[in-house]
Structure 1
Amino acid sequence: MGIFDTIREVLGMRAEADSMRAADPDDLFGMSTAYLTMEADLGFEPSAEAALCFAGVDNTDFADTVREVDDILHAGKEETGTDVSFQKDGHGYEWVVLEDDDPEDLVTSIHFAADTFIERDYGSRLLAAVFGFEKDGQSAYWIYSFRRGAYYPFAPKGSKEHDSSVEFKLESVLDGELELEPQKEYWYPLWPSSPGRHPWE
């Protein structure tokens, strides 16, 4: 099975069919308190970046939806100062990438973007929301899977390796504060293009 098939299966089609519960974009607001726990209890500081991953559709209505998301986020920049950009990764997936020193602004902006896709009937195209953290050169992420309606941790280490001890530590500390994915086979690693980069790069 190739990487494209794997990501579609884990974050996509199979997961959509057997997901434990429907995704709720309001789950994203759990990160508003989780980032405080990450910093106070685990020493991981927010990286000032977050991103929303989605699978595009080649039609005019979807293009209009993406423009609407762009317009909403750029309009909000005057109040929040959140920078926004759109990128496409090497697997063909698209990302709304946000940068802001205030983690709560990132959470709010990610929620606005996700909610807009859902209101325009493209919720099924949402794959994941990704929130970045750093500690002593170690990157860690909380990934919210829209197909599973749950969060899971991801701590990349080197090339195509992940630090399971860090991931399990994050799981144990944030269990109860975030809606966590209990089935480890759905903890899909979103590998960056090269070590030291973010999954959306």
Structure 2
Amino acid sequence: MGVFDTIRQVLGLSAEADAAREADPEDLFGMSTAYLTMEADLDFAPTGDAALCFSNVDSTAFQRAREEVEAILAAGEAETGTTAEFVEDAHGYHWVVLHDTGFEDLVTSIHFAADTLVEEGFGSRLLAALFAFERDGQTAYWVYSFRRGSYYPFVPTGGRERDNKVEFKLESVLDGELSVEDDTTYWYPMWPEGDAHPWG
């Protein structure tokens, strides 16, 4: 079983039975204040990137839902300046990738995309939302697992390694402000390809 097969299993199918609580797209708004703490207390600044990961469904209804998400984000771009692109990674996962220097606009756009898929009956296809931060050349992510209904930190260092010390520091500072996953066995890595973000 490959790395991304494992992620699909734990963030998708198998984690459904272990879900701590039902995921709620409203949880994403927790990042609207958490990013201020990341910057003020930890010196991690937003990179201006966020992404929503989901698995595709070969159905007309899902295609319509996806087109609705695209339309909502395209309409929002004129108002907020948030740009969106839809990409498929090398492992077959689909991503809505958003870029904006205004972090709160990123959060709002990710919420719109996730909430639309939930309302259209495809909430089970949502895997994770990622918010990227950077400090001294090191990238850290807050990952929201839709299967667990909670956040966890992920700090890759290259070569399929992660900085657990920084992850635990992020957890200790943000726990209480975000609904952080208590069980660290569910802090699943979403490895980037090379030096890129996990979405490509």
Q: TM-score range by the shorter chain?
A: over 0.9
Higher deviation after alignment, 7-16 or 96-105: 7-16
Q: How far apart are the structure 2 equivalents of 1:44 and 1:2?
A: 31
Query: What are the equivalent positions in structure 2 for 1:86-97 lying under 5 Å apart?
Result: 86-97=86-97
- Whether contact under 8 Å (1:86, 1:94) holds in the other structure is yes
Query: What are the equivalent positions in structure 2 for 1:1-201 lying under 5 Å apart?
Result: 1-194=1-194, 196-201=195-200
Structure 1 segments unaligned to the other structure (5+ residues)? none
**Matched residue type, 1:84:** A
**Matched residue type, 2:197:** H
- Give TM-score scaled by structure 1 length: 0.98
How big is the shift at 1:2? 2.8
Aligned-pair identity in percent equals 66
Q: How far apart are the structure 2 equivalents of 1:4 and 1:164?
A: 20
Q: How far apart are the structure 2 equivalents of 1:184 and 1:77?
A: 36
Q: How far apart are the structure 1 equivalents of 2:60 and 2:19?
A: 30
Count of matched residue positions in the alignment of Structure 1 and Structure 2:
200
How much is the aligned-residue C-alpha RMSD, in angstroms?
Answer: 0.8
SS, match of residue 199 in structure 1: coil
Q: Which runs of 4+ in 1 moved over 2 A?
A: 1-5
**Matched residue type, 1:5:** D
- Give TM-score scaled by structure 2 length: 0.98
**Matched residue type, 1:149:** G
SS, match of residue 176 in structure 1: coil
How big is the shift at 1:158? 1.6
How big is the shift at 1:4? 3.9
How big is the shift at 1:61? 1.2
Q: How far apart are the structure 2 equivalents of 1:51 and 1:45?
A: 16
How big is the shift at 1:5? 3.3
